[in-house]
Amino acid sequence: MIKNFKWLLFASLAFVACNNDDELTIDANSSDGKALTSGTAVVSKYIALGDSYSAGYSDDALFIEGQKGSFANIIAQQFALAGGGEFKTPFMADNVGGLLLGGNVIFMQRLFFNGTAPVLVSGRPSTEATTKLTGPFNNLGVPGAKSYHLVTPGYGNVAGVATGQSNPYFVRFSSSATTTIVADALAQDPTFFSLWIGGNDILGYATSGGSGTNQTGNLNPATYASNDITDPTVFASAYSNIVNAMTAKGAKGVVANLPYVTALPYFTTVPFNPLTVSILGGGNVAVGQATVTALNTQLYGPLKQVLTAFNAGDRINLLSSTTPNPLLIVDESLPNLSAQLTAAFTPSLGLATATFYGQVFGQARQATKDDLVVLKAQSVIGAEPTGIPAPLNKFGITYPMQDKDVLTKAEIAEVKVATDAYNTTIKSVADSKGLAFVELKAVTDQLASGGIVYNGFTTTSSFITGGMFSSDGVHPSPRGYAIIANLFTDAINAKYGSNFKNVNVGSYRILFPGSL
C-alpha cells in the first residue's frame, strides 16, 4: 500500500553559521558613561535558584560551555562590576554532556545540528554523578527540578536516584544527602537571588503528549510521577515557602513567570497535517495519488461509514490528493467505540480481524490544527508499529500515533490552566515581597508571533533557524540565554534603580557546534 515511506523534516533546512565568539568584554561603565551601581539591591552574594534554565542546560544536555552561558552566569558577570562576589558553578566534567551513575550512562550526550537534523555529538559522557564536588555553589539551578523539589529533603541523596526520589545533578554538589536546595542557598547568607521555577511542574506532562496525570486536587507530591502536572495549591505552597525563606534576612531578588510550554518549538515544529501525496508516495506523486485512492477505499471510507452510523463520523475524513492530510492519532478523551466497530466489521472481516480493528480505531481520529505533535514524533510518522501486520503498519497513516506523540486540545487546555494558576502565584508573591518581576510569558508569545529584535537581530521561536532555542526544541540557545539575561537585567534595573547593562546578543552563537 505504502512503499519506501520516509519523511525528513529537516532535509530542506539551510544552516547559517553565526558569530562563534560568545566571550564578551564588559566595562564598568553604563551606556551613559556612569559607573555601574546595584541601586537599592545588594549583590555581594548572588544565588540562582531554579531548574535547567538557570543551570544553562542546552541541546538536551548540561555541559561546561552551556553552563558558562547560563542567564544566571551572565547576570553574575554584571553584578561583579558593581560589588558582586564570586559566582561559583558546579561545572560538568566535559562539553560532551550526559551523565554517569556508577559508570553507567543515565543521560546521553548533547545534540548538535548537523545541517539536516539534530544528532548526538561523538564521545561518551565523563561526568559521574557520585563524584562529589566541593562547594558551596552560587548557581543552584538543578535540571529536572520541580517547584516542591527545592524544599524536599534528600533530593541530593544518591540512594534515591533509581526510584526518582532524588536528582543525580544535585547529588553531585549537594552539601549532604539530607539537605534541600533552598537550605544550601540559605547557608551562604545570600543578599540577592533569582528564582525561575515551575516549568518542570508542567513540562514532563506536555513533552510526553499528556501521558502523565493532572494531579490537580492531589496535595501529596510524594505520590506524583515525573510526567504529572503539579497541583496549583502544592505549587503555591512550595513557591511561597521558597521566597519566604530567601527573603527572611532581607535579601532582594528577581523572579520570572512561566511561558506556555506549548509555545516552544518542541510543540510547534511538526505539522498536524504532513501527509501530502508526495510524502505518501515516497516522493512520487503518482504513487501518492494511488495510495490516497487505496487508503480511502480500503480504510478511511469504511471507517468513516461505520463511525457515522454511531454519530462519530467527524473523527475521520477521506484523504485528499490536492491538500496536505492530517495524521491519524489516538485521543483518549473520546468515547471508546471499540465494541461498536468490532460488531460492525465482523460480517465483512471476521471476528478476529474486526476485534483488532475495534481495538486500534476505537479512540482514533485525525489530528486537527488544535493538536500539537511533539518534536520527537517526527521520526515516528510512517514507521512500523511493533507486531502490527500490513496494511495497518504505518504510524500516523494506517495506525494511530499514540498518546505520547500528540498533545491534544484537551491536554493543551490542562497545561494552560495550570500555567495560569502558577503565574498568578508568582506575580502575587513577587508583589507582596517587593521583588523584581520578569514577564517571560509575554516575551515567549511574541517570539512565536513575529519575534523580537535585539542589537539588530530578529529572534524567533522557529526551530533551529529562529535563534532563540537550542536543538532540543525546549531549552534556549546561547543567544536565547543572553536575551533572557537582558530581560532579567531590565527588571532588576527597573525595580532597584540599578543601571546594569544589557549584553550584545549578536555576540552569542545561535547554536553550539558539534565540537567545542
Residues 423 and 398 in one domain: no
Whole-prediction pTM value? 0.92
Residue 444 and residue 385 share a domain: no
200/214 same-domain check: yes
Would you say 38 and 82 are in contact if contact means Cβ atoms under 8 Å apart? Answer: yes
Averaged pLDDT for residues 432-446: 96
Q: Give yes or no: residues 401 and 444 share one domain.
A: no
- Would 402 be classed as within a structural domain? yes
Amino acid found at 257: N
For 287-314, the pLDDT digits (tens) are: 999 999 999 999 999 999 999 999 999 9
475 pLDDT more than 50: yes
Same domain, residue pair 388 and 413: no
Instruction: Please provide the size of the chain in residues.
Output: 516
- pLDDT tens digits for 234-261? 999 999 999 999 999 999 999 999 999 9
Q: Please, which residues bridge with residue 454 across strands?
A: 457
Question: How confident is residue 14, by pLDDT bands cut at 50, 70 and 90?
Answer: very low
The grid cell for 270 is 511538526
Confirm whether 3 is domain-assigned: no
How many structural domains are present in the chain?
2
Task: Provide the angle, in degrees to the nearest 10, between the axes of the packed helices 478-496 and 440-447.
Answer: 140
pLDDT at 172 over 50: yes
Are residues 254 and 336 part of one domain? no
| pLDDT bucket at 24, cuts 50 / 70 / 90 | very low
User: Residue 162 sits in a domain of what CATH number?
Assistant: 3.40.50.1110
Tell me, yes or no, whether 242 and 285 share the same domain. no
At 141 the pLDDT is: 98
pLDDT, one tens digit per residue, over 58-104 is 999 999 999 999 999 999 999 999 999 999 999 999 999 999 999 99
| Residues 126 and 260 grouped into a single domain | yes
| Residue 24 domain flag | no
Q: Could you give the CA distance from residue 215 to residue 475 in angstroms, rounded to a whole number?
A: 25
Closest of 242, 104, 238, 89 to residue 172, by C-alpha: 89
Residues 229 and 294 in one domain: no
Rounded CA-CA distance 355/293 in Å is 25
- Could you report the per-residue pLDDT of 308-338, keeping only the tens digit for each? 999 999 999 999 999 999 999 999 999 999 9
Same domain flag for 184 and 60: yes
Three-class secondary structure of residue 182 per DSSP: helix
Q: Residue 360 belongs to what domain range?
A: 277-366+372-407
To the nearest 10°, the Cα dihedral for 172, 177, 178, 180?
A: 0
> What's the mean pLDDT in 400-413?
96
Residues 223 and 357 in one domain: no
For residues 186 and 39, the answer to whether their CB atoms sit within 8 Å is no
Would the pLDDT of 48 be above 90? yes
Q: Where are the alpha helices (DSSP H) in 118-248?
A: 168-173, 181-186, 200-207, 232-247
Contact by Cβ (8 Å): 116, 13: yes
Q: Tell me what pLDDT residue 35 has.
A: 84
Are 177 and 138 found together in one domain? yes
